[in-house]
Structure 1
Amino acid sequence: MNTAPLLLIVEDDEAFARTLGRSFERRGYRVLHAPGFEEAADILKDHDPGYAVVDLKLKGNSSGLSCVQLLHAHDPDMLIVVLTGFASIGTAVEAIKLGACQYLAKPSNTDDIEAAFGHVAGNTEVELTNRSTSIKTLEWEHIHAVLAETEFNISEAARRLGMHRRTLARKLEKQRVK
């Protein structure tokens, strides 16, 4: 029987998923890949991964948060790390509430993710900052929270924010984390 830890990667970027998967395989993990929610649900019918890496924004503008919820419901002890190029406090809080153990902004490498799996308990020694949040940061976090509420539907988010869809698209393009 294979005792290597089983990792599920839920990522719609095939190249990134393949690279990440190979890196984890070199570290002794068995890796499964699902490009979206439905495929992840199918994998869970036959497999019980102990670890998962979930992209926040999946194909068809669907949210990885629903995958986090699915994975956590399948196994509450599964260690789930959410990766995103669109980090915000709102989605980080929701990911943790839904069962993720960590939330990392892209680019994150295998070392970062594996460290996140090992760091599931809170740390009271984290240094608190005296820096106030800027208006731009608050705006970005509000935009991202509305995007998450609308499951990343740009048109609906723009309507709720009271701005033109193209204006929102431009703001998102400026803030994109690569």
Structure 2
Amino acid sequence: MTDFDTQPTVLIAEDDDTFRDRLDRAMTKRGFDVRAVASVADAERAIAGDAPDYAVIDLRLGDGSGLDIVEALRLRRPDARALILTGYGDTPTAVAAVKLGAVDYLAKPAAADEIIAALEAPDGQRPAPPEDPILPDDARRQHIEHVFQEVGENVSQAARLLNMHRRTLQRNLKRYNADRPVTD
């Protein structure tokens, strides 16, 4: 997809600042030239300027649908490989994403290695399923704990970011800590 002497480019369109920054660092560490944006409008401008080799696109952005970005990328650069990354997955949206040209549709949280495997999988071939798949409850727990840690364990701020009542977050955190085995 790219010359051997240049880094592959990837557009990350994600409105969750924490997740976008984490993914940006992970992809940069793995040899990608990253362009990270937070909106459909910014993504479309980035594609119009110099369309990337790859794109990781959140389905729901503040100013519209990530599907619009997939379509814009396909029109500007048909050989580019895009995937939809979302916490709001459903079958009709996954089908629409693939019809528009996305190579895959992954649920958050997804690891950088999983994202790269999906982006670089040969056409018509899906990457192997994870050896140790994460259960939905565990994924939710990890996301909540990650957001809580990212805001310096500030319950009020984490609850706002998670769109959750403060007391509900406190109960979840208490339950998660009670579920952990005690080790010496």
TM-score range, shorter chain: 0.5 to 0.7
Partner of 1:96: 98
Does structure 1 residue 35 correspond to structure 2 residue 38? yes
- Once residues 51 and 5 of structure 1 are traced to their aligned partners in structure 2, the CA distance between those partners, rounded to angstroms, is 8
- Give 1:13-28 correspondences, 5 Å limit: 13-28=16-31
Paired residue secondary structure (1:102): strand
Match of residue 45, structure 1, among 48, 53, 57: 48
1:12–1:35: 8 Å Cα contact kept in structure 2? Answer: yes
Structure 1 unaligned runs (5+)? 127-178
Residue identity matched to 2:83: V
Q: Deviations over 1:9-46 (max 9, x none)?
A: 01111111111011000011000012111111211232
Partner of 2:123: 121
TM-score where L is the length of structure 2: 0.63
Identical columns (%): 40
**Which structure is larger by alpha-carbon Rg, 1 or 2?**
2
- Once residues 111 and 123 of structure 1 are traced to their aligned partners in structure 2, the CA distance between those partners, rounded to angstroms, is 17
Partner of 1:82: 84
Q: CA deviation at 1:59?
A: 0.8
Partner of 2:180: none
Residue identity matched to 1:81: L
> CA separation of 1:123/1:52 partners in 2, compared to 1, >3 Å: closer, same or farther?
closer
Residue identity matched to 1:27: R
- Structure with the bigger RCO (C-alpha within 8 Å, sep 6+) is 1
- Once residues 87 and 122 of structure 2 are traced to their aligned partners in structure 1, the CA distance between those partners, rounded to angstroms, is 21
- Once residues 114 and 120 of structure 1 are traced to their aligned partners in structure 2, the CA distance between those partners, rounded to angstroms, is 12
Does structure 1 residue 56 correspond to structure 2 residue 77? no
Paired residue secondary structure (2:56): strand
Does structure 1 residue 6 correspond to structure 2 residue 14? no
- Once residues 12 and 65 of structure 2 are traced to their aligned partners in structure 1, the CA distance between those partners, rounded to angstroms, is 15
Q: Would you say how many aligned residue pairs link Structure 1 and Structure 2? A: 124
Calculate the aligned-residue CA RMSD, in Å: 2.0
Paired residue secondary structure (1:101): strand
2:82–2:102: 8 Å Cα contact kept in structure 1? Answer: yes
- Once residues 123 and 19 of structure 1 are traced to their aligned partners in structure 2, the CA distance between those partners, rounded to angstroms, is 27
Paired residue secondary structure (1:82): strand
Deviating beyond 4 angstroms after TM superposition, the runs of 4 or more aligned structure 1 residues are none
Residue identity matched to 2:61: L
- Once residues 41 and 114 of structure 2 are traced to their aligned partners in structure 1, the CA distance between those partners, rounded to angstroms, is 27
Q: Deviations over 1:99-122 (max 9, x none)?
A: 101110111010110110122433
Paired residue secondary structure (2:102): coil
1:102–1:120: 8 Å Cα contact kept in structure 2? Answer: no
Q: Deviations over 1:63-122 (max 9, x none)?
A: 111111111111111010100101111111000000101110111010110110122433
Partner of 2:111: 109
